[in-house]
Structure 1
Amino acid sequence: MWRLRLLVLAVLAAGSAEAQANSSDGFLEFSVGKFTYFVLSRRFPQEAVLRHISSNVTFLLFQIHSQYQNTTVSYTKTLLPSTSGTGNDRGLVFILRPEQTVCTWYLETEDTKPVQSVAVTLSYSERDPIPGGCNLEFDLDIDPNIYLDYNFFETTIKFAPANIGYARAAEPPPCDVSTGQESRWRLRYHVYQYFLPEGDLTEASLLQHLQRMAQVVQVMASAVKEEYLRKCSPLCLPCSGSSLVSLDTDSGKQNYSSWVSSSWGSSFTS
């Protein structure tokens, strides 16, 4: 039977809704927690904007998904490896300045055909872990994306570790000065997996079900927790889709934030 696999990396969150993009004055308008459908065209790059950001929000996570065509999301209009990411599932983290209430970024595609996309912006407080906040391997300074490698026998998930949260205008906590409870080493990661309905490989189904794997509340409600990533058997290509959740239990409270979910494409199992 054919199944479409999803993989998501998460570190916890909340909220859900759907909308069509509101494009005014050349901007794509987004709202916190609302999944927005829109079409990107090679001829018409878009500037995205989120307004009325609350003062208790310290960072934002934007993620954009398509079925198989690549899109690019960038902090700046000029695309650079250190300020942008390209793929069919990509995202950026925005660390907010004091008094900042508006955030802008840029979206485009090099595909010759229009790209149907769904995107969401999630907001987090200073107590929530920052996905990819201790990145030392990938191009972005803070990289919340999942990178997958898989063959007939196994699947490898690569991601930059999270950092503990901090207030606006504060200095980021150092990533590798110590390994105590005051550092990012107190964060814990858990793996979840989720399958789309069998036999449905449509674009609409993928984009709809990705919404269940974009925020950790939905991940924990919809997916199955695994203690580890198992190697594939000869009957599976690739392994099942997964979600990684990082949990911060400082002061007895559970604080968390979601990573950028990634879709796998189709695979065959018996």
Structure 2
Amino acid sequence: MHSLLGERLLLAILSLIYIFNPVAAQDGSITIPLNSSITYDNREIYGGFITMNGISRVTINFVDVNKNLTFIVFQAHSHINNISLYTSDKTQGEKNATGTNVGLVSSVNPINTFIVSNSNNNITVRVYISVHGYFKMDPIPGGCNMEYPIPVTPFLNVMTYSDYIFVDAAPPSVDPGCLNTLQANMSFYMMYLPEMNFYADVYFDGIRKMMSLKNIMKYGYRIPKSSWPETRRMLSAYPGTGAIYTVVATRVDNASLYSVYVPSYSYGCNDINDDGCEMIDDWLSQLLCATLMFVGVFICFFGHRFFKTEMFFAGFFTGVIITYILIALITVVDKPALLAAASISGVFFGGIWWLFWWLYGIPVLSVLLPSLNLGFLLASIFYYRLPGHQLFLELDFNFWSLFVLVVMLTALAVVSVSYAANILCCAVIGAFASVLAMDYYLGSNLKFIIINVIRRAVVPHFNKAILAPPLDWKDISMALVWVILASLGFFFQHWHNRGRPPFPPPTRLVRPSVAEPTMYGAIPNYFRRPEQQTGLGVGTPVARVQTERTSLLS
């Protein structure tokens, strides 16, 4: 009896050492006791770090298994570098999975031996291993897999593209033969990591928070359904902002019976280096971004004062967006070439709108384009922060009709007061242009207010994507800077333009007066008739001009 207690005490001490101290492994083995109690909110029996050297493997054996359990989910997580997980199942042969977030299912009678392998040469990998235990009636995560080579696939398949992310999961099973896959529900959850933070400790902290049901409900956001199958979610990509994904499977007849899939992650980009995701990867984008900051400040505080310059930039911004969308729809070109073509077209559009003011000089019509730009910005904000995922907006006709309606209503609401409307458009759009440039350098996500609309227009199937934008302290800070800049710009322009006409006269109507000839021998007003020189009618005697040399009696 005393020896048995001593062995259990020793195993408990070893498990604590494994949890709090990473184990450096070089083709070694670890024995883990599985006698810890589990709760409804937390099914984790064991969790701890191991450190694996390059080209090494660790064998994990289990002892003292809780007899109330029916199956376990063993999972291993690494940061950026792939690892492999093997097990030898006597009934189904060897199974293996490779990736950064892998897991396998094993029954407890008999229980399998797992092998974690690091195939990276000269790269030391820190791995978090975890074991979760479940009862007989709990659904088996990924038990009805029909696509992947592993019969039971409890981990997620996260595919990251430039504009969107796919999160796929195999259906859970509630019966051995998967005869009825409708007896279990799948709920997808996600949790954002701090923006532009690629540290391993932050990543592992996020992974561990999305393992237990209690923390998933506390920190996670439930991803709504779309018209994709129930086993897939499509999300808008936000490069540089990491996100942890997981799935909770529950039985239809008893929601208290559940299982949690192996969580996975994505940073919104495929090329991750030591500094994370490269946000601006070409020189033209960097140049335009730096220029946009100064142009935005100028428009925000001096746009109405330099009205013709504002007209040019209003046409320029409109032309860039329209041309970018049209070229992206027609053909596939590199991003620098697309930006260059859109910029050249923007200069052309800006010249046309400036010429429109020069020819006609109608303030209401000239302010219409800046008002439409403001309406486009407000409609983009509405789409960006739209709560949930509205299925009726997946239809392009419904979405673009509502989008155009918001744009037109905004323009009609503000254009009736042309003077104040133009100052408001300058302040809001100019401040957003400045914040947009700062947003790129700080790594926040306000730029996706416009990018998501462009994606909706040019990216196939983006109508099914869930936006779910992150809201970090950087986003809140940039939004406050935007509001403050716009307010300062609006009041400054009102003060700066006091006492001046609401709008400057158009250039075409301002004609400089021609000076009378003063050269020797020139005859002033030679071609004018006397009545034209004096402004009097025909037959009216012309009065002589009185000077200091005119006789008093003449």
Match of 1:145 in 2: 155
Matches within 5 A, 1:190-269: 190-228=187-225, 229=233, 231-232=235-236, 236-237=238-239, 241-250=244-253, 252-265=254-267, 269=445
Q: Per residue, is there more strand in 1 or in 2?
A: 1
SS in 2 for 1:143: coil
Q: For the structure 1 residues 144 and 49, does the alpha-carbon distance in structure 2 shift closer, same or farther, using more than 3 Å as the test?
A: same
Contiguous gaps of at least 5 residues in structure 1: 1-16, 165-171, 177-182
Letter in 2 for 1:70: N
Query: Which moved further from structure 2: 137-146 or 195-204?
Result: 195-204
Q: Normalising to structure 1: TM-score of the pair?
A: 0.76
> Does residue 175 in structure 1 map to residue 178 in structure 2?
yes
1:104 to 110, 113, 117: 113
Q: For the residues of structure 1 that align with 2:263 and 2:197, how far apart are their CA atoms?
A: 19
Q: Per residue, is there more helix in 1 or in 2?
A: 2
SS in 2 for 1:185: helix
Larger Rg: 2
SS in 2 for 1:195: strand
Letter in 2 for 1:191: F
CA positional deviation for 1:82: 5.8
Q: For the residues of structure 1 that align with 2:223 and 2:177, how far apart are their CA atoms?
A: 30
Q: For the structure 1 residues 242 and 253, does the alpha-carbon distance in structure 2 shift closer, same or farther, using more than 3 Å as the test?
A: closer
- Name the structure, 1 or 2, with higher relative contact order (CA <8 Å, separation 6+): 1
Match of 1:38 in 2: 50
Letter in 2 for 1:69: N
Match of 2:350 in 1: none
CA positional deviation for 1:107: 1.2
Contiguous gaps of at least 5 residues in structure 2: 1-17, 35-44, 226-232, 270-442, 447-554
Q: Normalising to structure 2: TM-score of the pair?
A: 0.39
Letter in 1 for 2:247: L
Aligned pair count? Answer: 233
Q: Report sequence identity in percent.
A: 19
Match of 1:56 in 2: 68
Match of 1:7 in 2: none
CA contact (8 A) 2:53 2:118 kept: yes
SS in 2 for 1:208: helix
Letter in 1 for 2:190: Q
> Does residue 118 in structure 1 map to residue 115 in structure 2?
no
Q: For the residues of structure 2 that align with 1:263 and 1:239, how far apart are their CA atoms?
A: 7
Q: For the residues of structure 1 that align with 2:192 and 2:50, how far apart are their CA atoms?
A: 25
SS in 1 for 2:188: strand
Letter in 2 for 1:226: I
CA positional deviation for 1:201: 1.7
> Does residue 89 in structure 1 map to residue 101 in structure 2?
yes
Q: For the residues of structure 1 that align with 2:235 and 2:113, how far apart are their CA atoms?
A: 41
Match of 1:186 in 2: 183
What's the Cα RMSD here? 3.0
Q: For the structure 1 residues 105 and 231, does the alpha-carbon distance in structure 2 shift closer, same or farther, using more than 3 Å as the test?
A: closer
Match of 2:20 in 1: 19
Letter in 1 for 2:105: V
Q: For the structure 1 residues 213 and 239, does the alpha-carbon distance in structure 2 shift closer, same or farther, using more than 3 Å as the test?
A: closer
Letter in 2 for 1:260: V
CA contact (8 A) 1:30 1:121 kept: no
Q: For the residues of structure 1 that align with 2:68 and 2:265, how far apart are their CA atoms?
A: 32
